[in-house]
Structure 1
């Protein structure tokens, strides 16, 4: 699938996506040679891109492109094109781009193969080395890095019917167009054609590397049919266990996760923090809103001693923040947490669900800025929630197992006197069950504040909220927790 003319026109891509949505969905061709389909994990990893032979190598450009080979788990061929001086040039498959290692493949049969995806490199951390910056590989997945980060969570172009009994649909990026950068460019632009049984669309990514790598995303979506649940700007991550995990893992490491919480800035200007969990049951949480100002999956805990994994380096995983551009209307931010027993599986998804249903041929247009960061790139209230602990409620040692205790650390400094005088207080609520005790105190270890909450469940799902208040105003994030019986 290519544009009709070799002269590039973004409007023509929009027309292509609309025309594609007007036709029945046709899945990608299954014509991969068996020798590639049968590659095991190690054999596939033995195929490496030869940087020195790459199409942008040696041209003193701020970015280099490298391709992912097809095979093993990656069986869908994706055409990749570059735009040079306003004209389109297909980047055709070439065996010269790859070192096949110990594999003995018949490269004569691979001439029309195409690629599984691509990644872009940039001198992100030092001028002397082109670090991996962003990759697009598999379905509509992509991920990026800021300075001194290691890959963790991913984003997707679109989520369709996530956590719906009829099954989730995974759209794919069917073709890419990359604008070859000039020597002094600070950003690189990628266009992507999305396709699935329910929708087609065209996406524009303007990618700017830095301390926080930023993607300006423009998504034009054309539904083929009415969609039950549409997820905009989806983020996907892994949470196996942490401080608040009730089902214990037989693992020497204290914590294992790519993200530890969902942060929301709603349309009313409230900051909400939902610590992630890996319970025995599927969790689905909806934060109803109108014109949200931002949401993201964060890796807030940056202390290596809290992970003790010096290969995975979970403390170096990026956080991701979605900042809507323009009004997104009414809907909700949905958080899905899937039970998991292994860290190799992503089990957390967050996205925006518009209240208005997607209907056939009615274009949907969303713009947002996606940050990949270590330090949150937007101004916010103080009072970050840095940890949540859970255990048996009541007095320590009394085994009041009909209650649960929640201990919350707030990063609010210089508040000891206000707490002791009752000027700063703790507000707590539960939609079901009973709050039987609450206490706020100065923490001499963190120099912040720690809240202690006793909760008596009543056998129903309960939404708990807590915040530190001074003179009637929140001076902390709002702690939000879903209790499942």
Structure 2
């Protein structure tokens, strides 16, 4: 099970236990400010940038002191049995609109994470205390080391009901974080940075080793958090401004400092799960029609062209690159919101968030890379997508980036153009001796397509037909057929591919009427498996 999958599951729920809160209006539980950062009004993002720059000038030194066996040897279930005492939530006693809770170290979470609270420009460390946690059935001694430290944090805000503080965002495990919006359940994760993902060499996982969380005002609708990123190759300063609600929006600002060169620097990475879906053309022994947190990658290039790539669970590792200059957005989306597509009363895959990255400013030329990893179970996060700049930064260089990250049910709400809402693949032809031919069925839907439903009479005779433009990098394509689908109020595309046996076929298709392009570009890589 991956860290991304683990920390999202572990974040769910806390047990109410008795005890007075450690924090009051004057927040006495916080450690005194450090001299360098304690002057009122002195603490800003620039202080974190300086820390990152200073770290980059020296070798990486992880903060991972040894854990006692009763914490280090915990399995998943035993670690999850450790619950934060909600009555101890920071800012609960003050009635502020946000509350903060913490995770203990243990199990897979070995790195010690420092958490600070910033109030009126003063930064103070939140001290680790064992009585913040109920250790459940775990056998732990009464006297435990006082310097074990936290493994992460989570923020709560009433997004569904005014009287319930919902967990809205979690930072735990390497540089992973995930969030939910109103009515949604945890699914997709984001990361601060991805390094050497999908290569034969070992992937590097930077960590957020320290956080600074700004105390919210009584009428706050957002909260600011700074983070210090550290790894063998890169350090970084991150600013997150988080606005929970109908969609949870995270404005991200990053300053990266290269310790050494890397083969692949993945900016604004997203991590998700795709086990099987409507396009899976091999048998999966599962009562559920589909199992996935995301069903496709969306890339919107600098010219406004929208490219949709349905996700797959491949037999072998699959890496796809989309060359883009100044991308407008990219993300992993869950477009299928119908319960009958999943039939899972516990996982609720129909309410998993989509996550969309919207770059701020010009990112220049580079590529969005999609990595699809073979998986034999839904517990593995096997999908990764990120941006790779064309110019690889060298040691000693600084990289500045800004982007908006939206966790939402439908980041394409209001879009009028046609979208690919389903992709199906199956056997084609009637020749039982030739099973290599594959049939593709793509449904496009959208307000603009619904308006172009078939018409009768003279108007139908004079109006150009809706047709498909389909291309492939290999093999032979049949004549495409476009048919009105009254069930989706859209248009369905049929075509067949006869592979030539020389390798993968990269397919592209869109619908047009005369000179009008009606849909996004559907992109698919078919591989003989």
Candidates 483, 486, 489, aligned match of 1:447:
489
Contact 2:329 2:356 in 1 (8 A): yes
**Shift in Å at residue 104 of structure 1?**
2.9
Distance between the aligned counterparts of 2:201 and 2:389, measured in 1?
19
In structure 2, do the counterparts of structure 1 residues 201 and 3 end up closer, same or farther at CA, with 3 Å as the change threshold? Answer: farther
* Residue number in structure 1 paired with 2:188: 153
Aligned CA RMSD, in angstroms, stands at 1.7
Map 1:160-309 → 2, pairs under 5 A = 160-309=195-344
Which residue does the alignment assign to 2:442?
A: 408
TM-score (norm 2): 0.89
Question: Runs of 4 or more off by more than 6 Å in structure 1?
Answer: none
CA shift for structure 1 position 381: 4.8
Q: CA deviation at 1:399?
A: 6.8
- Residues 252-306 of structure 1 show CA distances to partners (whole Å, capped at 9, x for unaligned) of 1110000000011111110111000012111111000100000010011100111
Q: Does 1:417 align with 2:454?
A: yes
> Which residue does the alignment assign to 1:5?
37
Secondary structure at the aligned position of 2:87 is classed as helix
Matched, 1:469 2:512: yes
Distance 1:245 1:232, change over 3 A: same
Quote how far apart the aligned CAs of 1:422 are.
4.4
Cα distance in structure 1, aligned partners of 2:489 and 2:78: 52
1:26 deviates by: 1.5
**CA 59–404 in structure 1, closer or farther in 2 if over 3 Å, else same:** same
Q: Cα distance, 1:238 vs. partner?
A: 0.1
DSSP-derived class of the 1:116 partner: strand
Cα contact 1:213–1:372 (8 A) shared by 2: yes
Shift of 1:398: 5.8
Q: What does the per-residue CA deviation read over 1:422-459, in whole Å, with 9 as the maximum and x for residues that have no partner?
A: 43211100111121231000012222110001111112
Instruction: Name the SS of the counterpart of 2:437 in structure 1.
Output: strand
Query: Which stretch shifts more, 361-370 or 37-46?
Result: 37-46
Q: Is the 8 A contact 2:368 2:386 kept in 1?
A: yes
Deviation of the 1:463 alpha carbon: 1.0
Residue 400 (structure 2) aligns with: 365
Could you say which residue in structure 2 is the equivalent of 1:95?
A: 130
Deviation at 1:28, TM superposition (A): 2.6
Q: Once the two structures are superposed, what CA deviation does each residue of 1:57-79 show, in whole Å capped at 9, x if it has no partner?
A: 12111110010111112111101
Contact kept? 1:246, 1:279, Cα under 8 Å: no
User: Are 1:483 and 2:515 an aligned pair?
Assistant: no
- Does structure 1 residue 128 correspond to structure 2 residue 163? yes
**Cα deviation digits, residues 347-405 of structure 1 (max 9, x gap):** 0000000010111111101100000011215764511111000001235x867422111
User: Secondary structure of the residue that 2:144 maps to in structure 1?
Assistant: helix
Deviations 1:42-67 (A, max 9, x none): 22111111111222212111110010
Pairing 1:7-156 to 2, within 5 Å after superposition: 7=39, 8-156=43-191
> Retained in 2: the 8 A contact 1:215–1:370?
yes
- Residue 388 to residue 377, structure 1, CA distance change in 2 (3 Å): closer
Corresponding residue for residue 328 of structure 1: 363
Q: Per-residue deviation at 1:107? A: 5.0
Structure 1: 5+ residue stretches without partners? none
Query: How far is 1:20 from its partner?
Result: 0.5
Partner secondary structure for residue 81 of structure 1: strand
Residue ranges of structure 2 left out of the alignment (5+ in a row):
1-33
Q: Tell me which protein shows more strand as a share of its residues.
A: 1
Give the SS at the match of 1:108: coil
Residue 390 of structure 2 corresponds to 355
Alpha carbons 1:3, 1:13 under 8 Å: kept? no
Give, in angstroms, the shift of residue 27 of structure 1.
2.4
> Residues 265 and 378 from structure 1, CA distance in 2 versus in 1: closer, same or farther, beyond 3 angstroms?
farther
Q: Is the 8 A contact 1:392 1:399 kept in 2?
A: no
Change in CA separation of 1:179 and 1:159 when aligned onto 2, cut-off 3 Å: same
Pairwise CA distance, 1:414: 3.2
Kindly tell me the number of residue pairs found equivalent between the two proteins. 484
Deviations 1:222-259 (A, max 9, x none): 01011211000000000000000123211111100000
| Inter-CA distance 292–230: structure 2 relative to 1 (3 Å threshold) | same
